[in-house]
Amino acid sequence: MKTIIILGLTYNQIPLIKKVKELGYRALAIGVGGTEPVAAKYADAWFSIDTSDKEAVLELAIKEKADGLITCGTSTAICTIAYVTEKLSLSDKVISYDVSLNAVYKDRFRGIIPELLPKGFFSSTFEDAFDKSENLSFPVILKPADGGGGKGVTIIENNQKNIFEKAFHHAYDFSYNKSVIVEEFVDGQVFGAESIILDGKIYLLAIADKIISPPPHCVTLGVAFPSKLPEDTIKKIEKVNTDAINKLGIKWGMTHIDMAINRNGEPKIFDIGPRMAGGLIASKLIPEKYNYDLYKAAIQLSTGEMPDSPQQPNELYYGSRFITSSKPGILKSIFYNDEDVNKYKIENIRQLVLNGSEISNIKDDSSRLMIFSSKADSYEKLISNLDNFSNKISIEFNE
């Protein structure tokens, strides 16, 4: 029996753990947390190890005779996976360690593909960052050079020093390598490009329009695909996606690249994840759109097997939404009617936090309380289904 190590213990990893076990493999999960994390009970065993601690993960992989390592929704874990996979020669069909560093760390890929990014820079000190910000057009966004999940991200409208300093230190605190990216904020349509790369051949599976929470934080609240952007814009996105993957040297695996359309109608990259997207897009929506098991393909790549290639998509539109709270409190329940589920063709409903948990208003991806999806034969009907069901959901708090 093969042993697969899953890096991460959040809700994102639950379907991945289930897929490993469905294939008849042993599933070991790792992550940090004082009490048993939500995904732990689905694994055959779990270990309290930081997913960024590559030496500790290597030690576990040797001890447990791992055949492959995978993750979903967390980019920094990809560097650990690449490191351990190379050290143990587990697979020649995953991203290399050097390439993973270039793709994950924003201060590194900024030097490789500057023409594909908004104008900006990285810095390790507040004074240096504030001085350099005079060369940028505001608003600007500050974020950790090695962050993810929306953590440490702030958009600021002007270079008022005290506000800039607070935003800088917020990003700095979430950075492992203590480096902060400052770049011009692209206030245009945001979308994600989801691809699988097999021996250098890029299969662009989805260009998904995104709903993003308003400043000062940027949290994805929904996706819908295929995108309704104009055809000429779609072609530009395809080229930027291809150029980024090729220039970074990614030959194998998944990519999740976030972009936005600037005022000149050009797509600019603001984040790269050499991994599968979180939420439902990789676990449910793309697989149904293409009749293609993306999780199985990722597991096969992790063990050195060559998966099948994606085939032609169907004609339907797919999308998902997250529910968040506009105020903090102790969650009592999230309520909706089964009649509305049926009426609006809602699927894959998943509560992301336990009742009794302390919740906050929107700060980062961890602020999302619930996710669900729908599909329809038109983009407009899809959005209507998602909007209408969202409006029927109520969040109850303990007194």
Can you give the residue ranges of every domain in the chain? 3-90, 119-184, 190-397
CA distance 3 to 67: 5
Buried b (16+ CB within 10 A) or exposed e, 99-130: bbbbbbbbbbbbeebeebbbebbbbeebeebb
Domain 119-184 CATH class label: alpha beta
- Residue 149: pLDDT band with limits 50, 70, 90: low
β-bridge pairing 154-156 and 140-144: antiparallel
Which of the 8 DSSP states describes residue 73?
A: S
Q: What is the CATH number of domain 3-90?
A: 3.40.50.20
pLDDT the model gives residue 367: 83
pLDDT mean over 202-213: 95
pLDDT the model gives residue 320: 98
Tracing tokens 């001085």 back to the chain, one arrives at 131
Q: Which of 69-78, 146-155, 328-337, 376-385 has the lowest mean pLDDT?
A: 146-155
Q: Which of 116-130, 134-148, 296-310, 335-349 has the lowest mean pLDDT?
A: 134-148
- C-beta separation of 163 from 206 below 8 A: no
- Residue 366: pLDDT band with limits 50, 70, 90: confident
Q: How many helices (H) and strands (E) does the chain have?
A: 12, 19
pLDDT the model gives residue 34: 59
One-letter amino acid at 181 equals I
CA distance 387 to 68: 40
- Percent of the chain at pLDDT > 70 equals 97
Residue 361 clears pLDDT 80, i.e. is over it: no
CA distance 184 to 140: 4
User: How do residues 308-337 score in pLDDT, each as one tens digit?
Assistant: 999 999 999 999 999 998 888 999 999 999
User: How do residues 34-69 score in pLDDT, each as one tens digit?
Assistant: 567 889 999 999 999 999 999 999 999 999 999 999
pLDDT the model gives residue 281: 95
pLDDT the model gives residue 33: 66
Sequence-separated (6 or more) residues with CB below 8 Å from residue 246: 202
Residue 70 clears pLDDT 90, i.e. is over it: yes
Residue 63 phi, psi dihedral angles, 5° rounding: -60, -40
Q: Model's pTM, two decimal places?
A: 0.91
Residue 223 phi, psi dihedral angles, 5° rounding: -135, 155
Q: Which of 28-32, 59-63, 303-307 has the lowest mean pLDDT?
A: 28-32
- Percent of the chain at pLDDT > 90 equals 80
User: How do residues 94-112 score in pLDDT, each as one tens digit?
Assistant: 999 999 999 999 889 999 9
pLDDT the model gives residue 35: 64
Closest CA to 245 of 266, 234, 259: 259
Give the total residue count for the chain: 399
pLDDT mean over 154-158: 90
| Helical segments of the chain, H only | 14-22, 54-63, 76-88, 97-104, 106-112, 126-132, 161-173, 231-248, 286-290, 294-302, 338-343, 379-392
Tracing tokens 């979180």 back to the chain, one arrives at 278
What is the fold of 190-397? D-amino Acid Aminotransferase; Chain A, domain 1 (3.30.470)
